[in-house]
Structure 1
Amino acid sequence: MKRMNRRAFLDKDHKFTIKEDNIPSPQDDEVLIEIKANGICGSDIHFYREGRLGNFVVDRPYVPGHESSGIIVEVGSSVNGFSKGDHVVIEPGIPCGMCNYCKSGRYNLCPDVVFLSAPPINGTFCDYITIRHDMVFHIPKTLSFEEAAMAEPVAVGVHAVNRARFKNGDTAIILGAGPIGLLTAQAFKAAGGGEAICVDFNESRLRFAKKIGIDKVAIPSDSSLEGVADVVFETAGASKATASTFNYCRPGGCVVQVGWPGGNIVEMNIATFLDKELDYVAVNRYANAFPISIRWISEGKINVKDLITGRFSLDEVSEAFEYSSKNPDKVVKTIVLND
């Protein structure tokens, strides 16, 4: 173990400062994890570049990061099933475990959920962190830490697929070929879906889609895609993309809203929605998705390795965020490795 715990704090002036603190000790129901890898999420970039996302505002220094993997180095006295040396990933949304939503399995809707890296809650860009043990999952030691860190965004795609209504062999259109779109497309196929079509303006992202085996790619102006999908996943988080979702769907189809459009208010043609008698469902992070995410990554059903386009050390976290922010055409997923 290291002697101190480095933590990368982001402030309201968009600057990072690395501070050294004491290594925390786990409570009885917690484990202490030495972080080995973190992915930079799109939400992290929003906080870095704009200082806010939705209702969360960077008004004081905090530690970002929630896509993480590492090694357990200490186990709380009441924890069973984990041992020192285990390789693990963290599910970063910590629910209360007691409310009706938690008890019914929809713990992502818990009103008291604490989500790591949602300001002012500190996240995982650090060397050590303590986490309640029920939000920690084993990973095979054959899986690299950088690939394992992708389990969190994969879980978003898995949950989106779980929320969707489709049959084996159905066709899906995925709006947005960013990390979540590419992972959702793969999760759809791993779950028994048929043809997956990624739609995006960004040609480099569409090339990535082809590289990882997505069946077809297209630009939004391709009129041949209207009415061809049994299920549409909106992952771009763009108002125009959201407004177009009903057009891509067949009658009786399903639209899954994964992205969060800027401004929150979207003008949509409800007549199309009603005429086609569509289902429209929302995705709020994930629930019960990490075990299958880890399995599909480990089995190669979801390719995360080819989506990693940049690697930096924790001491280079500022450069990692700046590069990711300024190079959207080159970056799919940036990983920060603790050395």
Structure 2
Amino acid sequence: MDKVNKLMTTLVKRTEEEGYEIEQAPTPQPTEDEVLIRVTKVAICGSDINLYKWNDVAKVIAALPFTPGHEATGIVVAKGSEVKRLEIGDRIAVENHFYCGDCYQCKINRGDICSKMSQYGHGKGTIHGGCSQYSILSEKYCYKLVHNISDVEAVLLEPMGVAHNAIERLEVKGERVLVIGCGPVGLLAVACAKALGATEVIAADILPARLELAKKMGANIVINSRDGGTNHVKEEIMRITGGDGIGRICEASGAAMMLNGCFSYLRKGGRVTILGLPKQPLHVENVLQDIVFKSLTICTVHGRRIFHTWEECERLIAEKKVDAKVVVSHDLPMSKYKDAFQSLLSGQACKIVMDPQT
């Protein structure tokens, strides 16, 4: 059993200013259905830039004060009296979408799209987040690890789960798949597509280094979309498919231009999943020809299916069908959190993980 320290090191945002403060705080005690975890790894998501800078997006999705870090894994070191499923010493990963359990979606087992959702690491519903040596949360938001995967692999189950959810909805088995955008989640989508039976995976991005990572994740063909953008991608896709268009597209770039243009080279009867977060309106020039008359299926995802996605992702990692660690560019002590965020802001990082214990 772990000895629990009375004080813990934690990052906190208390004011509407860029950055965080590192503090010493009393280690909280779990009650009722709560567990206290010793956080072993926390990962930084691209969306965490909003919280770090405290921009207009952050003011909508977060509430002061809070400890950041919604991608976290750890070990249960204490538990409340009503905890039924977890034991001291269990390794868990955090499902950061805190569902209410009472709304319509929750009652039909769709807590992943709860209408009253709060989020771990955002200060809505709880101050706690993974950028802390210890953290408290209800056991219902804990995924118990069942395989002997590493802490780095475990913390990647959250972003990989988003990618897996998107690819699973595409129904990629026996299909040629295009992934647009090779950030960490897009790269994980490449690997998931291959693992779920895609015959060929094509990856498009504007950065050569990301395209090299896409190859390591299983991409058969890569397209540099920096010059020519969506028109260049369309030309390449139509050439590769002999003019038929591609059957499956995972749009992970969030670039409105790429999303708007992808319908023109999606095959009739095809499927597209919108995984990236466009900040401009969706505008399709030829709605009849490119959407209506093609009889398409358009899907969106928000997080993971609880806990189906977690089980499948952990299995794929344990069976060596996905090497999620490829996306990790930095593994740092949390004491160097400023360096971590500067690397992310400069564009020099892919996926950053931190150890809150150091």
When normalised by structure 2's length, the TM-score is 0.88
2:166·2:275 contact (CA, 8 Å) conserved in 1? yes
Task: Say yes or no: does 1:204 pair with 2:222.
Answer: no
User: Which shifted more, 114-123 or 226-235?
Assistant: 114-123
| Residue aligned with 1:134, SS | helix
Cross-structure match for 1:7: 10
- Which of 214, 217, 224 is the matching residue for 2:236? 224
- Which of 195, 204, 213 is the matching residue for 2:200? 195
Superimposed CA distance per residue, residues 6-61 of structure 1 (whole angstroms, 9 cap, x where no aligned partner)? 22123432122011211111121121111110111010023224624376266744
1:157·1:181 contact (CA, 8 Å) conserved in 2? yes
Cross-structure match for 1:64: 68
Deviation at 1:119, TM superposition (A): 4.9
| Residue aligned with 1:295, SS | helix
Cross-structure match for 1:34: 38
Superimposed CA distance per residue, residues 44-94 of structure 1 (whole angstroms, 9 cap, x where no aligned partner)? 023224624376266744321111111100122122231111111111111
Deviation at 1:335, TM superposition (A): 0.6
Deviation at 1:140, TM superposition (A): 4.7
C-alpha distance in 2 between matches for 1:89 and 1:41 = 15
- Which of 20, 23, 26 is the matching residue for 2:24? 20
Task: Say yes or no: does 1:235 pair with 2:252.
Answer: yes
Cross-structure match for 2:324: 304
- Which of 109, 113, 116 is the matching residue for 1:105? 109
Cross-structure match for 2:120: 116
C-alpha distance in 1 between matches for 2:147 and 2:271 = 38
C-alpha distance in 1 between matches for 2:58 and 2:8 = 30
Deviation at 1:266, TM superposition (A): 2.2
| Residue aligned with 2:37, SS | strand
Cross-structure match for 1:158: 164
Tell me the amino acid that sits aligned with residue 152 of structure 1.
Answer: E
- Which of 272, 275, 283 is the matching residue for 1:267? 283
User: Which shifted more, 107-116 or 139-148?
Assistant: 139-148
C-alpha distance in 2 between matches for 1:274 and 1:175 = 22
1:105·1:287 contact (CA, 8 Å) conserved in 2? no
Cross-structure match for 1:142: 148
Cross-structure match for 1:183: 188
Superimposed CA distance per residue, residues 85-106 of structure 1 (whole angstroms, 9 cap, x where no aligned partner)? 1111111111111222112222
C-alpha distance in 2 between matches for 1:259 and 1:125 = 25
C-alpha distance in 1 between matches for 2:206 and 2:166 = 22
Deviation at 1:168, TM superposition (A): 2.0
Q: Which runs of no fewer than 5 residues in structure 1 stay unpaired?
A: none
2:38·2:133 contact (CA, 8 Å) conserved in 1? yes
Total equivalences in the alignment: 335
When normalised by structure 1's length, the TM-score is 0.92
Deviation at 1:212, TM superposition (A): 2.3
C-alpha distance in 1 between matches for 2:300 and 2:147 = 34
User: Which shifted more, 113-122 or 25-34?
Assistant: 113-122
User: Which shifted more, 92-101 or 139-148?
Assistant: 139-148
| Residue aligned with 2:342, SS | helix
Task: Say yes or no: does 1:256 pair with 2:262.
Answer: no
Q: Which runs of no fewer than 5 residues in structure 2 stay unpaired?
A: 226-231, 239-243
C-alpha distance in 1 between matches for 2:27 and 2:159 = 27
The CA RMSD over aligned residues, in Å, is: 1.9
| Residue aligned with 1:53, SS | helix
